[in-house]
Amino acid sequence: MSDPMGKMEAAGGLAVTTGVDVNAAVERLRTEGIPAKVAAKDATLWGPEAEEEAAIRLGWVDTFVKSKELVAPLAKLRAELHEQGVDHIALAGMGGSSLAPEVISRTLDLGISILDTTDPGQILAELGEDALRRTAVVVSSKSGSTVETDSQRRAFEKAFEGIGITEHAGRFVFVTDPGSALEALATKQGSHLFLADATVGGRYSALTAFGLVPTALAGADIAELIDQAEAFAATIGSEGDDPAVVLGAVIAAKPTITIADDGTGVVGLGDWAEQLIAESLGKDGKGTLPVVLEGPAAAGARGSDRVYATVGGSSTGLPSSGSSLAMPDVVVNGPLGAQFLAWELATAYAGYLIGIDPFNQPNVTESKNNTNRILADGLPDERPHAVDGSVEIYGSHAETVAGALGELLTNADNETAYIAVMAYLDRIDDAEVAKLRAELAERTGAPVTWGWGPRFLHSTGQFHKGGRPTGVFLQLTGEVDDDLDIPGREYTFAGLQAAQAAGDRQALESRERPLVRLHLTDRKRGINQLLHAVRELS
């Protein structure tokens, strides 16, 4: 067991403490001057093939400077919305457009509704008349063409009209890159518009308009977040302590990093870091797999193939665990603004150490393309191998749910495998099913990740296709009781959700990845059945 007291570096308000032996990697980064080169936005660091992309994707290093321009207009808009009786923010966005706002919202208890889903039940829950009358919708998409976000926008427009708010342009706030179709739409209909920094990729966009617009409108002090990042930025490449260098070396040290909140003030950073690390490093058949844990020392936290990290806002640098055996391998403590920049820097450093371009995402569009084809041609004709109670079994020879889960664990019984659970369900009403991750982790030595679909397609989906080819996949889908039309489209939200699940299955099956699908014909009963079945396994 490593001793977290072995190495500690603190600067700019943030401390990284670890007992993992990363001295050689840290020395390499410092000797080769990598932090200073990143600060100078040197696009050549990750090799000639990465240079063109890196040249237009390094704005995140100091984007917080430009973000200061957002503080005053956002404060003004928030006051205007309050005068109109609007005191709730719903965010329609995916991936980098939703994950950073979610962390800020959870940490500061802002209560933003994050709609990174196509599940009709989860969307319908936001469209009730009482909620709508006090809601403004932030529509956030870098490309301006994200199908989930566009679909949600259309649903909100129709819902506003349905309660008599026909002049609803002022209820929409658009966040997008300059020149996108979303910018044109906002301008045409007279909605509020904030343009993001086009030199920052989505997963590095926490401190741009994507992270700051919805949270400022919900009441966050974004000036404080920016100040925290600016204070930490002063440590980049310094001759003194450089916590991000240590963290980058830790991320690159093992095949897997497990991440948990330590309970000292930062909430949910692991979900954001998961996308950052998985999309940045999961390619070329290699990379570091991030696993988000339910809490400190959760099932699957430790293993010889992984580094166990905790994240918090405490300035002490170490959690109060009471036992050295319960200590994590690395502790990252500091304010949220500094955390965002530190993890972004660390991921770029880890990409350099591993030999991976941290800015491209070559496999993200495959599932999207499959989805579009299925929406045009229709769902594939699939028949279950077996039906057990409220669960249909696909892709397995087993006759029972317990047998299918057992088969999954057998496929994961090797030193390099990981299990990915992908749930195309309602992450609010069906939240109980997420207990399956820990249950599976307790019964196997493999790392087990959890992803809500289609949210994970904008996160770990890149790693599933482009990372190390040792994943074993469990896809969960569910029957829809109340569907919702998408205005202007020939498909519904349930149809889009089903097409996304099928498209992702096709992407994984084309790579011959082990894949079992369990379809819940009754969601509540099916979830209970799943959890009961996994607990029966030895």
Over the chain, what is the mean pLDDT? 95
Question: What confidence category does residue 1 fall into, taking pLDDT thresholds of 50, 70 and 90?
Answer: very low
CB atoms inside a 10 Å sphere around CB 31: 8
**Angstrom distance (rounded) from CA 132 to CA 88:** 9
> CA angle at residue 254 from 59 to 469, to 5 degrees?
85
Q: Which two tokens stand for residue 406?
A: 């057992």
Predicted pLDDT at 6: 73
Task: Give the DSSP H/E element, type plus range, for residue 523.
Answer: helix 523-536
**pLDDT-above-70 percentage for the chain:** 97
**Angstrom distance (rounded) from CA 514 to CA 259:** 25
pLDDT in tens, 386-440: 999 999 999 999 999 999 999 999 999 888 999 999 999 999 999 999 999 999 9
Predicted pLDDT at 240: 87
Predicted pLDDT at 326: 65
Please answer whether residues 409 and 444 qualify as being in contact, where contact means their C-beta atoms are separated by less than 8 angstroms.
Answer: yes
pLDDT in tens, 429-482: 999 999 999 999 999 989 999 999 999 999 999 999 999 999 999 999 999 999
Please answer whether residues 439 and 531 qualify as being in contact, where contact means their C-beta atoms are separated by less than 8 angstroms.
Answer: yes
Q: Is the pLDDT of residue 219 over 50?
A: yes
Question: What confidence category does residue 314 fall into, taking pLDDT thresholds of 50, 70 and 90?
Answer: confident
Please answer whether residues 217 and 249 qualify as being in contact, where contact means their C-beta atoms are separated by less than 8 angstroms.
Answer: no
Q: Is the pLDDT of residue 193 over 90?
A: yes
Predicted pLDDT at 318: 54
pLDDT average, residue stretch 172-200: 97
**Angstrom distance (rounded) from CA 386 to CA 473:** 18
pLDDT average, residue stretch 32-61: 97
Q: Which residues pair with 308 in a beta bridge?
A: 258
Predicted TM-score of the model (pTM): 0.96
pLDDT in tens, 352-378: 999 999 999 999 889 899 999 999 999
**Angstrom distance (rounded) from CA 338 to CA 344:** 10
pLDDT in tens, 242-295: 999 999 999 999 999 999 999 999 999 999 999 999 999 999 999 999 999 999
Strands 113-115 and 391-394: unpaired
Residue with tokens 């009730």: 128
* Residue of higher predicted confidence among 320 and 390: 390
CA distances for 3 relative to 6, 241, 330, angstroms: 6, 19, 9
CB atoms inside a 10 Å sphere around CB 427: 18
Q: Which two tokens stand for residue 467?
A: 């990372």
Q: What is the DSSP letter of 333?
A: E
Q: Report how far apart the first and last C-alpha atoms of the chain are (Å, whole number).
A: 26
